[in-house]
């Protein structure tokens, strides 16, 4: 009986969220400050543990920027946050999706197979539109990014404008 109720509950949940992909919003203030100032903070569930380790151990040469953090405690805190929630550590539905098709670990969210699959239909010039500027600028297009939602209809005015007439 309990099992059936649980199953019914899960069905109801999946019906309301349809194909939605949800991530726990990043609320850690240290992470938001240190990793969300140059770009939107990225969801740890989208990359593997080894990749976060590599990113955090090489902040001096960070995708062409110097993102050095000198305070060791701060760095440790941020590393722990990413490792605890990484794609191959958390066992959630969405992290499983981001692991699909991963052979060698993707070194960036935009290189992950799931990202590539989901954005293959977008014309390359859209990513260059002023205000979008980069594939990594997730929040420029996904209006639910900070809340951790990626609904089919949740797009920013700048994205809607960019695709108009193309
Ligand atoms: C000084 C600015 C700066 C800071 C601070 C910074 N980054 Fe970055 N980061 C960048 C730039 C620039 C890129 C390349 C963005 C692009 O390709 O458009 C980048 C890219 C990334 C990417 C790859 C995005 C992709 O999929 O293409 C990840 C992951 C990332 N940063 C994580 C972090 C983490 C974790 C922190 C905090 C420890 C951090 N960043 C702090 C500047 C910064
Ligand atoms: C130029 C705008 C744009 C940018 C930038 C962008 N996306 Fe998207 N994204 C889209 C569009 C449009 C779709 C829907 C594609 C479709 O359904 O055919 C999509 C789909 C997705 C989906 C699938 C949602 C689902 O469940 O079907 C995810 C997850 C996603 N994006 C994550 C990201 C992440 C993470 C980033 C940044 C690293 C990002 N996107 C950057 C436009 C963008």
CA 161 – ligand 2 centroid, Å: 16
Q: Rounded to whole angstroms, how far apart are CA atoms 44 and 154? A: 21
Q: What integer is the mean pLDDT of 114-130?
A: 97
Model pLDDT for residues 144-154, shown as the tens digit of each residue: 999 999 998 89
**Closest ligand 1 atom to Cα of 111:** 26
Contact call for residues 144 and 155 (beta carbons, < 8 A): no
Query: With pLDDT > 70 as the criterion, what percentage of the chain qualifies?
Result: 88
CA 109 – ligand 2 centroid, Å: 11
Ligand nearest to the CA of 85: 1
CA 139 – ligand 2 centroid, Å: 9
**Closest ligand 2 atom to Cα of 97:** 29
Query: Is residue 108 in contact with ligand 2, taking CB distance under 6 Å?
Result: no
Query: Is residue 45 in contact with ligand 1, taking CB distance under 6 Å?
Result: no
CA 107 – ligand 1 centroid, Å: 11
Model pLDDT for residues 41-91, shown as the tens digit of each residue: 999 999 999 999 999 999 999 999 999 999 999 999 999 999 999 999 998
Q: Rounded to whole angstroms, how far apart are CA atoms 38 and 59? A: 13
Q: Rounded to whole angstroms, how far apart are CA atoms 147 and 144? A: 5
Q: Rounded to whole angstroms, how far apart are CA atoms 6 and 13? A: 11
Contact call for residues 44 and 85 (beta carbons, < 8 A): yes
């Amino acid at each position: 009986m309990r099992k059936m109720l649980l199953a019914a509950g899960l069905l109801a949940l999946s019906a309301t969220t349809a194909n939605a992909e949800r991530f726990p919003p990043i609320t850690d203030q240290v992470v938001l400050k240190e990793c969300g100032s140059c770009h939107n903070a990225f969801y740890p569930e989208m990359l593997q543990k080894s990749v976060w380790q590599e990113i955090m151990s090489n902040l001096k040469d960070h995708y062409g920027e110097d993102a050095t953090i000198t305070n060791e405690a701060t760095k440790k805190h941020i590393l722990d946050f990413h490792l605890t929630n990484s794609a191959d550590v958390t066992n959630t539905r969405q992290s499983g999706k981001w692991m699909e098709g991963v052979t060698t670990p993707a070194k960036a969210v935009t290189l992950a197979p799931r990202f590539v699959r989901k954005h293959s239909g977008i014309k390359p010039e859209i990513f260059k539109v002023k205000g979008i500027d980069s594939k990594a600028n997730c929040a420029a297009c996904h209006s639910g990014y900070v809340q951790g939602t990626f609904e089919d209809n949740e797009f920013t005015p700048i994205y809607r404008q960019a695709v108009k007439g193309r």
